[in-house]
């Protein structure tokens, strides 16, 4: 009798351990072509969009360290770490902007790009979200591809365009860019328009070894 009870307790602990250790949304890794095929296609509308609909650069993952989201991304992506001073002032450091292959040695020369721009996210489904979810999107550090430190020039050249309209000037960045764009759209369940999906399909054909990693946003 005692052994039976102990076996039952052991089994219950195994189940409990699995439920605690397993994430609510498991990460997915797909070939780029399969990931593109998984994207929902829809009609986009920018009606009602304003940038203020997305509260961005909030207190970040650690609200006690004085670093907002922009600074945290810069610290995380630095090739050579900057010195973090009072009020999260960054001095020194070096970054590589993968959009254009440019090395940058001043944080002020960088923008933090939303991989899928805020306006594009609005067009693709975020217009129906709550303000809180849009804030989570605008400050998403749960997936590295969501926010990326790049030169201000390349970010402003991209603006709010999708891959049918703009690709990074560095041709060797196209496969990575396509994967990160698709991963971000899948993470947040955002739709694509017909021109966008066609271009992504062409990129998938040109990048046969590229994979997409993403995890559904909470």
pLDDT digit of tens for each residue in the chain (218 aa)? 444 434 444 444 333 344 444 445 689 999 999 999 999 999 999 999 999 999 999 975 555 567 999 999 999 999 999 999 998 999 999 999 999 999 999 999 999 999 999 999 999 999 999 999 999 999 999 999 999 999 999 999 999 999 999 999 999 999 999 999 999 999 999 999 999 999 999 999 999 999 999 999 99
Give Cβ neighbours of residue 177 (< 8 Å, ≥ 6 apart).
99, 163, 167, 168
Signed CA dihedral, 137, 71, 46, 158: sign only = negative
Q: Are 39 and 192 in contact (CB under 8 A)?
A: yes
User: pLDDT tens, 102-111?
Assistant: 999 999 999 9
Question: Number of C-alpha atoms within 13 angstroms, CB side, residue 38?
Answer: 20
pLDDT of residue 59: 74
Domain ranges of the chain: 22-214
Tokens of 129: 């979200």
Among residues 166, 158, 171, the alpha carbon closest in space to that of 200 is found at: 166
> Is-contact 187 29, C-beta < 8 A?
no
**N-terminal to C-terminal alpha carbon distance within the chain:** 44
C-alpha 130/C-alpha 72 separation (Å) is 24
Residue 24 CA from chain centroid, whole number? 18
């Amino acid at each position: 009798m005692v052994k039976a009870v102990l076996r039952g307790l052991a089994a219950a602990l195994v189940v409990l351990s699995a439920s605690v250790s397993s994430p609510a949304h498991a990460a997915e890794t797909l070939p780029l072509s399969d990931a593109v095929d998984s994207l929902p296609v829809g009609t986009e509308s920018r009606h009602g969009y304003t940038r203020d609909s997305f509260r961005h650069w909030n207190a970040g993952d650690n609200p006690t360290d004085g670093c907002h989201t922009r600074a945290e991304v810069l610290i995380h992506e630095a090739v050579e770490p900057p010195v973090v001073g009072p009020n999260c002032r960054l001095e020194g450091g070096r970054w590589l902007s993968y959009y254009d292959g440019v090395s940058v040695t001043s944080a002020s020369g960088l923008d933090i790009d939303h991989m899928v721009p805020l306006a594009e996210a609005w067009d693709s489904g975020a217009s129906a979200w709550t303000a809180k979810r849009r804030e989570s999107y605008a400050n998403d550090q749960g997936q590295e591809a969501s926010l990326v430190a790049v030169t201000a020039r390349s970010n402003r050249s991209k603006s709010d365009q999708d891959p049918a309209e703009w690709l990074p000037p560095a041709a060797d960045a196209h496969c990575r860019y396509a994967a990160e764009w698709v991963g971000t759209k899948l993470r947040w369940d955002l739709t694509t328009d017909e021109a966008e999906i066609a271009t992504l399909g062409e990129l998938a054909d040109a990048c046969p070894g590229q994979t997409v990693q993403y995890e559904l946003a909470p």
